[in-house]
Structure 1
Amino acid sequence: MARRLYTLLFCLCMPLVLLRLLYRAIKAPAYARRWSERFALGGDVRAGGIWVHAVSVGESIAAAPMVRELLKRYPELPITITCMTPTGSEQIRKLFGGQVGHAYLPYDLPWLQRRLLRRLKPRVGIIMETELWPNLVAEATRAEVPLVLANARLSERSARGYQRVSALVRPMFAALDWVAVQSQAEALRFIKLGVAREQLQVTGSIKFDFRADPALLQQAADLRARWGERPVWIAASTHAGEDEQVLRAHQAVLQALPDALLILVPRHPERFDAVARQVQDAGLAAVRRSSGQLPAADQQVLVGDTMGELVMLYACADVAFVGGSLVPNGGHNYLEPAALGLPVLSGPHRFNFTEISGLLEGAGALQVVSDERALALAVQALLGDEAARERAGAAGRAVVQDNQGALERLLSGIARLLG
């Protein structure tokens, strides 16, 4: 009954959904393309194999090691990856090219999900993290498609939100065939929402299994060498309301270290132009990465306005601030800079990565800053203390290495479902 009401409300809201899509297309023209795929028509759908759903960029990057291993282990099975955003789509194409099929996931209406599954005929469906939709799960169950929730995470905040609509979501969680969850605390939250204990395993986060491509690290080393001997810090995956704080923090850093360079990487590409203007408005000289030009000695900011280069830009820096944390977005992936041996800074809002950030903080690899002033002081202190940077970086690498192995546990669980 709850799902029928949800479907009815979704249908009634479709004009607003399409208006929102049109509005986003004005800001980011890629949203104006491939609308048919959002109704389960078109797209490169490869039937009879493995279906992976990764909502956007972060989930696509997290899924990449798993997908590469699946391609190696099951060369006879085609893989199709769905996502929801143009940036996620671009990332999938960049990571895999024509090795995998790709399409947008349709809107969560039963007949659209049914149409997609009839075209896919997957032997298993793998949903990354917590991108669950009631009709999607119900139609997969009806079609007898085993569903895996991979690298599953569930913050306390999200769990409370699901509890408010428990009549709708409990059947959805109960229908999952296997949940590979990141931590014990999150496992308990999933159980409270209806996942059977026997269908759940704490596998850890596959983000710990991140390994940077040596060619990428060499590219970063070559690029950094061309910038000269200047201290460099990066503010990565920043959100609206956060860039201004980062720029003010950089202005304070420049008072002590006049040759310091900030690499500022906004989370969403539709904000690249606006952030570049903010840098100018702050009275700072900047160069955009997309221009291909090197930052000159009198330029204090490099705006990272390209896709797929975040890890390389991390590797160019001495200190990393991970965005989405000075504003209440819950933080982003702290493990990439930690795995690269960088000291990591975070704002107080890190509820999306509570356990991971706690591990790094406890080891001395991550420092929490309360505001822009604390951020400036922390950056300045670390840029001026090579020994402190090395200690924090070594601690971060150790945490990452000690927690690896989640990918193999996840692949073993998928293998059981594939038979």
Structure 2
Amino acid sequence: MIYDLYRRITDLGGPLISLYLDNRRHRGKEDPARFGERLGQPSQPRPPGPLVWVHAASVGESLSVLPLVGRLRRRGLGVLLTTGTVTSARMVADRLPEGAIHQYQPVDRTAYVSAFLDHWQPDLMLWTESDFWPNMLSEAKRRAIPMVLVQGRISPRSYARWRYLPDLIGKMLGGFDLCLAQTEADAGRLRDLGGGDVRCLGNLKYAVPPLPGDEAELERLRAAVAGRAFWLAASTHPGEEAIIASVHRHLAERFPSLLTLIVPRHPGRGPDIARKLIALGLSVAMRSAGETPRAGTAIHIADTMGELGVFYRLSDIVFMGKSLTVGGGQNPFEPARLGCAVLFGPRMENFPDMTAHMVAAGAAIEVKDADDMAKTLGALLADPERLNRMKAAAAAWAETEAEVLDVVETALAPFLRAAERRHARP
């Protein structure tokens, strides 16, 4: 009933959908050069042979499935990756394996969806996380396209909302031949909402390769900080820099040459952060201004894009932001993958299983507040052997978790073989 209503509204609402898309285009939220893709009009031909369609809503989901896309290409399968945002399209443009195709996801209107599927005719659909679109999933099911949910995720908030629409979510989840959940909690919620064959094999975010880093820049920074005690606060959010400054001042009494590195989540906040820290009497260097940490620099603000890989390689100890004043947390797997000892605050709601496993493995420590952070950092800086053990534990844990890609590929093998047989020559 709800799905029929949704379909009628989206079919009859063509003019309103067009106005909405035009507004997004004027605000830079749509790609004018490839706008037709959003209407189901392809900009590239379908490659010959078996084609696996992978859908990832935005940047985070795209990054998590890129290793899987690479495996599919090495197997000789054609891959079509769809995303819904301009930012994700720019990101995958430089990272997609050779031969893989990117297209924008068509808007969930039956005419657009049908045109998209008529052209691409995928042999297998891999849908990520929780970006469920009724018309797309229903039409794929009607065409008997095998469907697998990978990285399946249902947050507690989404679960509460979906329980008011059991028929709609049940119809969508029931169309998947296999549901691979990120966590056991996600698996339970997927089963309860109507998922059939639901399994938890691990999180593909663990399979993402280490962040890249410029080796020449890394060596230049190593020379600049040589002989100093230092630590990194990564992906910080408003309010956290004041706490970090407090921790720095406390630790500087014990480690006079201490340097604190701050990489804000949003680089545009750099000048504002600098003004506030200077007002506290701290000496600040800004990377966006071409400044390098000097002997008297207390805080170095790396307010640039795409350099976290450099700073993770530089630092032994990393505190992950968005976990003290702002909730949710940032991905702690990235620094662990590069052998960093990881600290985070108590508000890591986006990574509950990951953080619990890291703490249990000795790869990370949760700090409650500024005092707890200062105490923990001081202990690690003063005990190189303990710090090295923690770094080794982080690297070992990350390496073990990265094997999830093999497990997921094994689960997908029957579907991949079926796609290959469909195009096999006698």
With the length of structure 2 as denominator, give the TM-score of the two structures: 0.81
Q: Is the 8 A contact 2:40 2:113 kept in 1?
A: yes
Gaps of 5+ in 2: 419-426
Report the CA distance between 1:253 and its aligned residue.
Answer: 0.9
Residue aligning to 2:421: none
User: Could you tell me which of 323, 326, 330 is aligned with 2:324?
Assistant: 326
Matched AA of 1:398: A
Secondary structure class of the residue paired with 2:350: helix
State which drifts further: 81-90 or 274-283: 274-283
> 1 CA distance for matches of 2:30 and 2:230?
33
Q: Is the 8 A contact 1:280 1:286 kept in 2?
A: no
State which drifts further: 292-301 or 386-395: 292-301
User: Could you tell me which of 55, 59, 62 is aligned with 2:61?
Assistant: 59
> 2 CA distance for matches of 1:380 and 1:57?
36
Residues 317-360 of structure 1, C-alpha deviation per residue, up to 9 Å, x if partnerless? 22222234335653232222222221222232323221111111
Q: 1:398 to 1:128 in 2, by over 3 A?
A: same
User: Could you tell me which of 209, 218, 225 is aligned with 1:228?
Assistant: 225
Q: 1:164 to 1:357 in 2, by over 3 A?
A: farther
> 2 CA distance for matches of 1:220 and 1:398?
26
Q: 1:274 to 1:385 in 2, by over 3 A?
A: same
Does 1:387 pair with 2:385?
yes
Q: Is the 8 A contact 1:45 1:103 kept in 2?
A: no
Secondary structure class of the residue paired with 1:352: coil
Q: 1:392 to 1:19 in 2, by over 3 A?
A: farther
Residues 393-419 of structure 1, C-alpha deviation per residue, up to 9 Å, x if partnerless? 222233334444321121123231122
Please give the residue correspondences for 1:306-345 in structure 2 after superposition, counting only pairs within 5 Å: 306-307=305-306, 309-326=307-324, 329-345=327-343
> 2 CA distance for matches of 1:5 and 1:316?
55
Q: Is the 8 A contact 1:206 1:405 kept in 2?
A: no
Q: Is the 8 A contact 2:285 2:301 kept in 1?
A: yes
Residue aligning to 2:71: 69
Matched AA of 1:272: P
Please give the residue correspondences for 1:344-383 in structure 2 after superposition, counting only pairs within 5 Å: 344-371=342-369, 374-383=372-381
> 1 CA distance for matches of 2:213 and 2:369?
32
With the length of structure 1 as denominator, give the TM-score of the two structures: 0.83
Residue aligning to 1:303: 302
Residues 21-67 of structure 1, C-alpha deviation per residue, up to 9 Å, x if partnerless? 35853xxx886664333323354464451221222222222212211
Residue aligning to 2:263: 264
Residue aligning to 2:166: 166
Report the CA distance between 1:192 and its aligned residue.
Answer: 0.5
Report the CA distance between 1:92 and its aligned residue.
Answer: 0.8
Q: Is the 8 A contact 2:233 2:260 kept in 1?
A: no
Q: 1:367 to 1:80 in 2, by over 3 A?
A: same
Residue aligning to 1:108: 108
Please give the residue correspondences for 1:1-400 in structure 2 after superposition, counting only pairs within 5 Å: 1-7=1-7, 11=13, 14=17, 17-18=20-21, 21=24, 25=28, 34-44=34-44, 46-47=46-47, 49-74=51-76, 77-96=77-96, 99-196=99-196, 199-212=197-210, 216=213, 218=215, 221-229=218-226, 230-238=228-236, 242-257=237-252, 259-266=258-265, 271-283=266-278, 285-288=284-287, 294-297=292-295, 298=297, 300-307=299-306, 309-326=307-324, 329-371=327-369, 374-400=372-398
Q: 1:351 to 1:256 in 2, by over 3 A?
A: closer
Q: Is the 8 A contact 2:66 2:208 kept in 1?
A: no
Q: Is the 8 A contact 1:54 1:60 kept in 2?
A: yes
The Cα RMSD (Å) is 3.2
Q: Which has the larger radius of gyration?
A: 2
Q: Is the 8 A contact 1:249 1:373 kept in 2?
A: no
Matched AA of 1:274: R
Task: Give the aligned length.
Answer: 402
> 1 CA distance for matches of 2:290 and 2:45?
36
Secondary structure class of the residue paired with 2:126: strand
> 2 CA distance for matches of 1:134 and 1:338?
38
Q: 1:277 to 1:207 in 2, by over 3 A?
A: same
Gaps of 5+ in 1: none
Q: Is the 8 A contact 1:321 1:344 kept in 2?
A: yes
Matched AA of 1:166: P
Residues 203-246 of structure 1, C-alpha deviation per residue, up to 9 Å, x if partnerless? 11233334438x848567524423322344333344xxx23323
Q: Is the 8 A contact 1:249 1:376 kept in 2?
A: no
Secondary structure class of the residue paired with 2:151: strand
Matched AA of 2:185: A
Residues 122-160 of structure 1, C-alpha deviation per residue, up to 9 Å, x if partnerless? 111222233322222112212322222123233334322
Identity rate, percent: 27
